[in-house]
Amino acid sequence: MKIVDARVIVTCPDRNFVTLKIITSSGVYGVGDATLNGRELAVAAYLTEHVVPALIGRDASRIEDTWQYLYRGAYWRRGPVTMSAIAAVDTALWDIKGKVAGLPVYQLLGGRSREGVTVYGHANASSVDDVLMEVADYVALGYKAVRVQTGVPGLESTYGVGKDRMFYEPADAALPTENTWSTPHYLEHVPTVFAAVREEFGPTLRLLHDVHHRLTPIEAARLGKSLEPYHLTWMEDPVPAELQEGFRLIRQHTTTPIAVGEVFNTIWDCQQLITEQLIDYIRATVVHAGGITHLRRIFDLAALHHVRSGSHGATDLSPVCMAAALHLDLAIPNFGLQEYMRHTPATDAVFPHGYHFADGYLHPSEEPGLGVDIDEELAARYPYRPASLPVNRLQDGTMHNW
């Protein structure tokens, strides 16, 4: 079964997505997500100019060999553009494999390790009172875990807090907008937020918070220690992760669990963090970490060191990626949580899928393959629209870490 065609589809049903569709000589096709928020066209070009020509004529059943061929053949390895392109190919080939076998992909990965995939939603609002109402809405929907973000008093805007609660999209302009940041304001405010949430909802609701890389290790340690009374499931991305040994300092001062990894691309980005047990949850995801094949390797390494999965699942991952993530989540032994930000109706229409939410869990499709598709005719009605993520400056104008 040879690959006879591969198409790169760029579409913007309320936000930009890049999708690879691989077609085989038997007529079976598979889809893979290649979206890289704010750099979508870079991945589309990489696929079109370098990867697709190398795929034609290859055996579609040789998933591992194709992964190694694309990774080793580039010479300039790793990086978000390369790994997102490889992920799209890998995911599409798993989709094809499942369709040919007549099985959902999770069955090819070893079958179920659980009945459903626990997901968390995003409660975000400008004030504490408003975020309490947002948390209540998620609890009413059946969520068992909620990420909580609020605006910071004294700051005009805060990344992670949007106007549209269910369909938050941070890429808000063609060129990056600039937010103003104050670490002292933030560190004083966040513990008061979680004190209010715990008082309102009690001790059993799983609570999470995203720092968005904005602290130094000692500042993150202070935040983690101040949040210990509220028993968070995790404190996410406390510091920029380029200096992995910085997480040792956080570990020395707080027992608040740590999650990191949504910007990681390979197992080498998180090897030290995992093997030294400096984190509790690894948040790498299918599209940015080389596909199902490579993400499974990361999760297998994590399982040896008491680290659970906590994959990224924001709206810049298409339903193709979400479907792939759910199949992997269902199969691995060390699953922790899955982020789930709902896509807009326009996105769902372009990417018809069989996964569904019920009682706090997502359930993958039982159809052969991934159980997701792309409507190319509808996708063509939504042309690409430039959009970039914002950047931060301190109050004195200094460009901040993130």
Residues with active-site annotation: 159, 212
Please name the helix (run of DSSP H) or strand (run of DSSP E) that holds residue 44, with its range, or none. helix 40-46
CB 325 within 8 A of CB 94: no
Q: In whole angstroms, give the CA distance from residue 180 to residue 177.
A: 10
> For residue 230, what is the DSSP state?
G
Q: In whole angstroms, give the CA distance from residue 273 to residue 391.
A: 26
Q: What share of the chain is helix, strand, coil (3-state, %, to 5)?
A: 40, 20, 45
CB 33 within 8 A of CB 44: no
Phi, psi of 296 (to 5 degrees): -60, -40
Using alpha carbons, select from 262, 267, 303, 316 the residue that is nearest to residue 285: 262
Q: In whole angstroms, give the CA distance from residue 228 to residue 226.
A: 6
